[in-house]
Chain A
Amino acid sequence: MVRFTESTITFPYTRSLGPVVGAFMTALTEKRILGIRNGEQVICPPMEWDPSTGAELPRDLVEVGPAGTVDSWTWVPEPTEQHPLDRPFAFAFVRLDGASTPLLHAVDASSPDAMSDGMRVAPRWKGQRIGHLTDIACFVPGEEPQVDGDDLGPAAEPVQMMDYLARITYRNPVPPSSDLVVDASRQHRLVGFRCPGCGKTYVGGRGVCPIDSVEFGEEHLVELPHTGTITNHVVITPVQYPGQTETEPFARVFVLLDGSDAVLGYQPVIELPVEDVAVGVRVSAVWASPGEESDEGGGMGGAFGSLIGWMPNGEPPVDDPDLVNRIF
Chain B
Amino acid sequence: MAPSTDIAVVGWATTPLVRRTDLSETQLLLRAITSALEPLGLTRSDVDFTCLGSCDYITGQAFSFVGNLDAIGAWPPKRDSHVEMDGAWALYEAWLRLQEGDIEIAVVTGSGRSSTGNPALIYPMEMDPYYLAPIGADPVTFAALQARAVIAAGIADERTMAEVAVRSRGEGDVDELLRGEYVREPLRRHDLPPITDGAAAMVLATGDRARQLVERPAYITGFDHRTECHNPAFRRLDDSPSTRIAAEAAGLGDAPVEVAELQAAFTHEELLLRSVLGLGDDVAVNPSGGALKANPIMASGLCRIGHAADHVFAGGTRALAHSTSGPCLQQNLICILEGRS
Contacts and interface: CB of A to CB of B under 8 A. Distances in A.
Interface string A53-85: 000000000000000000011111100111110
Given A74-B185, A211-B73, A83 B134 contact: no
Given A91-B141, A169-B117, A213-B34, A74 B184 contact: yes
Contacts of B117: 168-171
A252 interface: no
Interface in A202-232: 206-213, 215
A105 B24 contact: no
Interface string B224-240: 00000101111100000
Contact of B145 (A91, A164, A173, A212): A91
Contact of B135 (A25, A133, A206): A133
Interface in B19-57: 21-24, 26-27, 30, 33-34, 44, 57
A17 B124 CA distance: 19
Contact of B233 (A7, A93, A212, A215): A93
A306 B57 CA distance: 32
Contacts of B74: 210-211
Interface residues of A, number: 55
A263 to B, nearest CB: 16
Contacts of B125: 166, 168
Nearest to A208: B70
A104 B74 CA distance: 46
Interface string B101-132: 00000000000010111101110110001111
Interface string A269-312: 00000000000000000000000000000000000000000000
Contacts of A170: 59-60, 116-117
B182 A77 contact: yes
Contacts of A208: 26-27, 30, 70-71
A172 interface: yes
Contacts of A171: 115-117
A34 interface: no
Interface string B179-196: 001111111000000000
Given A106-B135, A133-B134, A213-B34, A164 B182 contact: no
A112 B75 CA distance: 59
Given A134-B134, A173-B22, A213 B70 contact: yes
Contact of B129 (A15, A80, A82, A206): A15
Nearest to A75: B185
Nearest to B138: A80
Contact of B60 (A7, A104, A210): A7
A101 B73 contact: no
Contact of A72 (B138, B149, B182): B149
Contacts of A103: 131, 233
Interface in A129-162: 132-134, 162
Contacts of A77: 181-183
B231 A51 contact: yes
Contact of A172 (B24, B120, B138, B234): B24
A245 interface: no
Nearest to A172: B116
B132 A213 contact: no
Interface string B210-251: 000000000000000000010111110000000000000000
B336 interface: no
B135 A210 contact: no
B141 A15 contact: no
Contacts of A101: 233-234
Contacts of B21: 173
B180 to A, nearest CB: 13
B72 interface: yes
Contact of A83 (B136, B229, B235): B136
Contacts of B132: 104
Contact of B24 (A9, A45, A51, A173): A173
Interface of B: 21-24, 26-27, 30, 33-34, 44, 57, 59-60, 69-75, 113, 115-118, 120-122, 124-125, 129-138, 141, 144-145, 148-149, 181-187, 229, 231-235
Given A45-B131, A101-B233, 14 more contacts: A72-B145, A75-B182, A80-B121, A82-B124, A82-B138, A103-B233, A104-B135, A133-B131, A134-B134, A175-B24, A207-B27, A211-B75, A213-B30, A213-B70
30 contacts: A9-B60, A15-B130, A51-B229, A51-B231, A74-B148, A74-B184, A74-B185, A77-B182, A80-B120, A80-B121, A82-B136, A84-B136, A91-B145, A101-B234, A103-B131, A103-B233, A104-B132, A106-B135, A132-B134, A133-B135, A168-B117, A169-B118, A171-B117, A172-B60, A172-B116, A207-B26, A208-B26, A208-B27, A213-B72, A215-B27
Interface of A: 2, 7, 9, 13, 15, 17, 21, 25, 43, 45, 47, 51-52, 72-77, 80-84, 91, 93, 101-106, 112, 132-134, 162, 164, 166, 168-173, 175, 206-213, 215
